[in-house]
Amino acid sequence: MMLRAAVLGHPISHSKSPALHRAAYAHLGVDFAYSAIDVTEAALPEFMRQVRDEARTDGGWRGLSVTMPLKTAMVAEVDEVRGVARALGVVNTVAFESGGGSADHTRLVAYNTDVAGIVNALRHAGAATAPTAAVLGGGGTSAAAIAALKELGAASADVFVRDVSRAAEARAASAAVELPVRVLPLAGAAAAVAAADVVISTLPPRAADALAGELAAQPPRHDEAERRGVLLDVAYDPWPSRIAAVWQDTGGAVVPGLEMLIYQAVEQVRLFTGLGEAMPAGVIDVMCDAVGAPRRVF
Residues catalogued as catalytic = 71
Among 33, 170, 51, 163, smallest CA distance to 107 is for: 51
Among 240, 233, 243, 235, smallest CA distance to 201 is for: 233
Q: How far from 198 is each of 15, 48, 129, CA to CA, in Å? A: 26, 37, 10
User: Which residues are within 8 A (CB) of 86 and not within 5 positions of it... i.e. 6 or more apart?
Assistant: none
Euclidean distance between CA atoms 183 and 164, whole angstroms: 6
Half-sphere exposure of 117 (CA within 13 A, CB side): 31
Characterize the bridge pairing of strands 230-233 and 32-38. unpaired
